Structure 1
Amino acid sequence: MDLGIENKVALVTGAGGGLGGAIALALAREGAKVVLADINPASLEAVANSVRSTGSEEMSLEWDLGDLSVVDARVNTIEARFGSVDILVNNTGGPPPTPAVGQPTELWEKHFRSMVLSVIGISDRVLPGMKAKKWGRVVTSASSGVVAPIPGLAISNALRMSLVGWSKTLAKEVGRDGITANIIVPGRIGTDRIRFLDEAKAKREGRTVEEVSSESTASIPLGRYGKPEEYAHAVAFLTSDAASYVTGSIVRVDGGLIASA
């Protein structure tokens, strides 16, 4: 299927990670001009090499999402080279595992800035360009915790749920401008983040990582963790012309993990 995004300008935040890198590569393979944003320059370079191998144009930007003061300058840099952003994939890192009770205000504020205010700020900055073209895609990667809160991930559950309310409201406001806004939810996708969470749970419970991962796998109808590229394919579809009537949605890529409707 031709997704219709050749030469579209796509900004992917958190592009140095497992999910972000896979998303960037999937969009590049469809011919998009991909802007990679991440705080880690070494990770950026590794993904940039993969993107360049597709023949698509790319730009790498070292970007700390917690620093809201740089949003305008970073987007100005993108626009100077490629023009306005057509596709925005909001993909942020997650906070450490925490219970709901007793977390310092400073920790909540830190992750609210990097996980929520950064998404809103970058989206606000690129939306005028999308409105001018009457075409745009805003895809925000969340967590299965927005559907079924995950024990031990209180900060993540709460902050990502706030993005669901924001995204659904945004979809109503910009739909007539040809812009869609959707939330995409990963289940247990085999990334460094999931390995970290499995290790943390194993340590808390005095078990082996193998026991924890086997227990998780047993709860997934497909019987395995997902691959980053499987998640990326779903993101790429949501950015496409083929998904032009999909907006205000929460799309799960979880192997059937979440049992609720």
Structure 2
Amino acid sequence: MDFMISGKTALVLGASRGLGAAIAKGLTAEGVKVFAAARNVSAMEETESFIPISVDLSDAASVAALIATIKAAGGVDILVNNSGGPKAGPAVGQSKDSWTNAFESMATSIFAVTDAMLEGMIDRKWGRIITIGSSGVVQPIPNLALSNGVRAAVSGWSKTLAGEVARHGITVNMILPGRIDTDRVRELDAGRAEKTANTVEAVQEASRAEIPAGRYGKPEEFAAVAVFLASEHASYVTGSAIRVDGGMIRGA
């Protein structure tokens, strides 16, 4: 299928590894010019065909510099908002600083980048904004209070924004990953294993038992959904939160 986005330009945040890297690769394969933003871009510079840009989403000055660079390059047609998750931990006892820092890096920064990229999209009457969330938006994940709380706020923002910009030919959607085989998920599995005095293999086996598909997802499977949402064919899909979780979340 021709996704009809060859020649478009995209900015993918958090593109050095995991879901962000997989999406950047998927868009590049469709002929999209990809600006790949991350804190560590050294690995991309030699092995990938992206245009690497360094950014620290927890640093307002770094985010402002990214925005200035992309706007000077003419803006983008496709924006993929992808931020790393905060440390695991319970809701009880979280400090004000922990909540503030998590919100700054996972929410405020992507709000600012999105607002800046929207200017060009509105002028061109075409745009795709895709934000990577978490299954915790639908069913909170134990011991991930910061992520559950902040990503829920981002979900409300995404839905609100979708209603505001649809008339400009811009779609705004979220993708909610379940257990996708990424470094982040492996780190969480290792943390759970240590906390429960179990092996990582036992933790992963227990997780697979809760997934109807019986396995963790592949990053490229997740990326395929993002590429579709970025395509011309998805022009009537907006304000949605699409799960890519192998059927893990049973609720509506």
Tell me whether the two structures share a fold, i.e. TM-score over 0.5: yes
Match of 2:11 in 1: 11
Question: Tell me, what secondary structure is at the counterpart of 2:165?
Answer: helix
Task: Check if 1:62 corresponds to 2:54.
Answer: yes
TM-score normalised by length of structure 2: 0.97
User: Alpha carbons of 1:43 and 1:100: their partners in 2 closer, same or farther (altered >3 Å)?
Assistant: farther
**Residue 77 (structure 1) aligned to one of 66, 69, 72:** 69
Q: Hey, what's the Cα distance between the residues in 2 that align with 1:5 and 1:162? A: 30
- Partners of 1:240 and 1:43 lie apart in 2 by 28
> Contact 1:38–1:44 at 8 Å: present in 2 too?
no
What SS does the corresponding residue of 1:140 show, helix, strand or coil?
strand
Question: Which residue among 166, 187, 193 is the counterpart of 1:196?
Answer: 187
Percent identical pairs in the alignment equals 53
Letter in 1 for 2:78: I
Alignment partner of 1:233 is 2:211: no
Q: CA deviation at 1:76?
A: 2.8
2-structure distance, mates of 1:18, 1:92:
11
Deviation at 1:42, TM superposition (A): 2.7
Partner of 1:31: helix, strand, or coil? coil
Per-residue CA deviations over 1:46-66 (Å, capped at 9, x if unaligned) read 6xx23x2xxxxx311110011
**Secondary structure of the equivalent of 1:246?**
coil
5+ long unaligned stretches in structure 1 = 53-57
CA RMSD of aligned residues (A): 1.1
Residue 34 in structure 1 maps to residue 26 in structure 2: no
Question: What is the letter of the counterpart of residue 72 of structure 2?
Answer: A
Cα distance in 2, alignment partners of residues 86 and 165 from structure 1: 23
Partner amino acid, structure 2, of 1:7: G
> Which one of the candidate residues 81, 94, 99 is aligned to 1:108?
99
Q: Distance in 2 between matches of 1:232 and 1:142?
A: 13
**SS in structure 2 opposite 1:101?**
coil
Q: Give the secondary structure class of the aligned counterpart of 1:60.
A: strand
Residue type at the aligned position of 1:170:
L
Look up the match of 2:246.
255
SS in 1 for 2:174: strand
Q: 1:78 offset after TM fit, Å?
A: 2.5
CA deviation after TM superposition for structure 1 residue 67, in Å: 1.4
The partner residue of 2:171 within 173, 176, 180 is 180
CA distance in 1, matches of 2:31, 2:96: 43
Which of 81, 85, 101 is equivalent to 1:90?
81
**Secondary structure in 2 matching 1:185:** strand
Instruction: Say if 1:237 and 1:243, in contact at 8 Å, map to a contact too.
Output: yes
Structure 2 residue ranges without an equivalent (≥5): none
Deviations 1:19-74 (A, max 9, x none): 1100000000000000000001334336xx23x2xxxxx31111001112333432
Residue number among 211, 224, 227 corresponding to 2:202 in the alignment: 211
Give the whole-Å Cα distance in 1 for the aligned partners of 2:238 and 2:181. Answer: 27
Counting matched residue pairs gives: 252
The residue type paired with residue 244 of structure 1 is S
Instruction: Using the TM superposition, give the Cα deviation of residue 4 of structure 1 relative to its aligned residue in structure 2, in angstroms.
Output: 1.1
Contact 1:65-1:118 at 8 Å conserved across structures = yes
Deviation at 1:237? 0.5
SS in 1 for 2:172: strand
How many angstroms apart in 1 are the aligned matches of 2:17 and 2:107? 18
Contact in 2 for aligned 1:68/1:121 (Cα 8 Å): no
Give the superposition deviation at 1:80: 3.3
> Cα 1:34–1:226, aligned 2, differ >3 Å: closer, same or farther?
same
Distance apart, 1:260 and its partner CA: 1.1
How far residue 169 of structure 1 moved from its aligned partner, in angstroms, is 0.2
Residues 200-223 of structure 1: per-residue CA shift (max 9 Å, x gap): 011111111111100000111111
Q: Indicate conservation of the 8 Å contact 2:71/2:117, yes or no.
A: no
Shift of 1:17: 1.8
Partner of 1:55: none
Equivalents in 1 of 2:142, 2:45: separation in Å?
35
